[in-house]
Amino acid sequence: MEPLQRSPLPLMGEPFLDRLKDVAKDVESVLEEILPPPTTCLHQAMRYSVLGKGKRLRAFLVWATSHLFDVSPSRALKMGATIELIHAYSLVHDDLPCMDNADVRRGKPSCHKAFGESTAILVGDALIPLAFQTLSSLDVPPNIRLELITKLSQVIGSHGLVAGQMRDLGQEGSHHLFEDLLELQHLKTGVLFGFACEAGAILGKASLQEKNALRTYGLLVGEAFQMIDDWLDECGCEETTGKPLGQDTSKITFLSLLGPSGLLEKAQSSIQHAIEIISPFQERSNFLRNAAFFALNRER
């Protein structure tokens, strides 16, 4: 496989990576508090699946979009933690033998490998209500809380994440054409990225136009993120990604459909488009611009 020449990181220097790390650390502390203490097997398994090595990029996107509107960091972090709980549930269920059947996640045995299959199902089942409980306790006006709850439930339901998973399992639709695969990955990956960015805007009482623009930015970043995920599955480094390579070789992926250079070209154009969309926010959107470059150039 020819090496993927990804672009140098124009704006993504140490300060950005430090900020990403700082936000991830803060989100981790919020998650520590939200999760029940490890006094039962179920609660131990929940903490095992949520805490640890996640990049927390979705939470970072909430933080960075809410930064555009001077939202208090504590609200943004709680919102980010809510999305990370949902993301963790989707990973636990996706790894199950009846789904993607993956033994390793974030550099350690996946939840069902460590705690058994039935516990892993219940971990996912318990993380969803915990996420909504967290959201419903957010210290914001009731109309904002309701908008966040409504949108999150739409995004993760049978017209969002779950629909994407059905397609991925080959239970619905087809993904032999590029457009079909794009729609599948839009549902499986994009919509949660889009919601993370829209959530920051909702917290910031942004206009409808700003909310739509930021959601579109998130969808495009999610698209490129997934393309790079497909590339890393074949050409990444196991130690850095925290999971075995080649897990998707039997699947139709962006890499198998486009080849490395076509994939890179498409991912770069999505990132370019995402950056254009946020340009009206000027310097305040530098974190978002760097997050887009990070999605493209990441090693894990």
| Positions in 104-133 near ligand GRG (CB under 6 A) | 106
The interface region with ligand GRG, picked from 2-10, 14-22, 89-97, 138-146 by CB under 6 A, is 89-97
Judged by beta carbon, residue 66 or residue 189, the one nearer ligand GRG is 189
Judged by beta carbon, residue 247 or residue 268, the one nearer ligand GRG is 247
Q: What is the CA radius of gyration of the chain?
A: 18
Would you count residue 30 as binding ligand GRG (CB under 6 A)?
no
Judged by beta carbon, residue 175 or residue 188, the one nearer ligand GRG is 188
Query: CA dihedral defined by 15, 17, 22, 26, rounded to 10 degrees?
Result: 140
| Positions in 232-291 near ligand GRG (CB under 6 A) | none
Would you count residue 134 as binding ligand GRG (CB under 6 A)?
no
Interface residue with ligand GRG among 67, 75, 93, 211 (CB under 6 A) is 93
CB of 172 to ligand GRG, least distance (A): 13
Would you count residue 90 as binding ligand GRG (CB under 6 A)?
yes
> Which x/- pattern, by CB under 6 A, does the window 199-238 give for ligand GRG?
---------------------------x--x---------
Interface residue with ligand GRG among 94, 198, 210, 233 (CB under 6 A) is 94
CB of 142 to ligand GRG, least distance (A): 29
Interface residue with ligand GRG among 4, 11, 114, 162 (CB under 6 A) is 162
Would you count residue 161 as binding ligand GRG (CB under 6 A)?
yes
Residue with tokens 């949660």: 192
Would you count residue 54 as binding ligand GRG (CB under 6 A)?
yes
SS3 sequence, the chain? CCCCCCCCCCCCCHHHHHHHHHHHHHHHHHHHHHCCCCCCHHHHHHHHHHCCCCCCHHHHHHHHHHHCCCCCHHHHHHHHHHHHHHHHHHHHHHHCCCCCCCCEECCEECHHHHHCHHHHHHHHHHHHHHHHHHHHCCCCCHHHHHHHHHHHHHHHCCCCHHHHHHHHCCCCCCCCCHHHHHHHHHHHHHHHHHHHHHHHHHHCCCCHHHHHHHHHHHHHHHHHHHHHHHHHHHHCCHHHHCCCCCCCCCCCCHHHHHHHHHHHHHHHHHHHHHHHHHHHHHHHHHHHHHHHHHHHHCCC
Would you count residue 50 as binding ligand GRG (CB under 6 A)?
no
Interface positions with ligand GRG (CB under 6 A): 54-55, 57, 87, 90-91, 93-94, 106, 161-162, 164-165, 188-189, 226, 229
